[in-house]
Amino acid sequence: MRLAGARLLDDRDYPAVRAALAADPVGSCMVSARVEVAGLDPWRLGGELWAADSRPARYGRLSGLCFAGPNLIPLRGNSSALRSFADRALRRQRACSSLVGPAEQVLGLWGELETEWGPAREVREDQPLLALDRSPLVPADPRVRAVRPDELDRYLPAAVAMFIEEVGVDPRAGDGGASYRARVNELISGGRAFARFEDGEVVFKAEIGAMSADVGQIQGVWVHPDRRSAGLGTAGTAAVVSRLVHGLGRTASLYVNGFNTPALAAYRKIGFRQVGQYATVLF
């Protein structure tokens, strides 16, 4: 029997939401970063938080939790909870660009949505979720630094190249790149974009995307094709880890495709350990 649909959370649920997010600070970083700043108001949050429970759980435990915004992120829930999330999602036209989060929940929810939302452009079932809360085991590249606002135009081509290589689509499509440029500019302005420049060109880049009070998620790691296999990615990522751990007091985290064996080897050399399993469905 299918459930009637998930419940939209509100301020009465805030204690239970915070407890659910705190139970897995690395896995829930993307949602925690939003909730800590915006609370549960959908307009400020940039999306909705859903629960499978039928009533507010101010002091209880949420049996299921899902964020619905630019991405659909199911953080916890059994098969019944996932069916309720699917029911609510299917009441509207799909607006999210991906389904991402803990693999069990993502793949379970996709099983409920695929008939209506499929086929997906790509399903990445194996994405180890890694974390490091201490100094990296390899020396950090001293030439990796925060990108300055006046360097946006020099940084942007590397960001676009990374996005196309990783996601498989050009982020400039649709609006000529205005929204993507604004997002990259926001990261730079916030001191969360890092690069090594050589002769005015980016040869390594990475960013701190979602950042909660406890965890910072590294994203967009990229090395210029002409400089790969030279250790720039390992030393550059170590520099960003050092910034997160020692400069910002956060655990560094990231997730990586399981088939990307060179990246996995580099991250393990830095000292990352696997703390979970993610999956992504790309639309």
In the chain, where are the structural domains located?
7-119, 145-276
pTM greater than the 0.75 cutoff: yes
Please report the pLDDT score of residue 4 as a whole number.
55
Q: In CATH terms, is domain 145-276 a member of 3.40.630.30?
A: yes
DSSP 8-state secondary structure symbol assigned to residue 247: I
What is the Cα–Cα distance from 72 to 30, expressed in whole angstroms?
Answer: 11
As a whole number of Å, the end-to-end CA separation of the chain is 28
CA dihedral over 44, 77, 250, 57, signed as positive or negative = positive
Please report the pLDDT score of residue 1 as a whole number.
37
What is the Cα–Cα distance from 263 to 155, expressed in whole angstroms?
Answer: 22
Ramachandran category for residue 210: left, alpha or beta (phi over 0 → left; psi -120 to 50 → alpha): beta
**Angle separating helix axes 29-38 and 14-22, nearest 10 degrees:** 150
**Angle separating helix axes 232-242 and 261-270, nearest 10 degrees:** 50
Q: What is the mean pLDDT of each run of 10 residues along the chain (283 residues)?
A: 71 92 97 97 96 65 92 96 95 94 98 96 97 98 98 97 94 92 97 97 98 98 95 98 97 97 96 98 96
Please report the pLDDT score of residue 54 as a whole number.
64
DSSP 8-state secondary structure symbol assigned to residue 99: E
Please report the pLDDT score of residue 52 as a whole number.
87
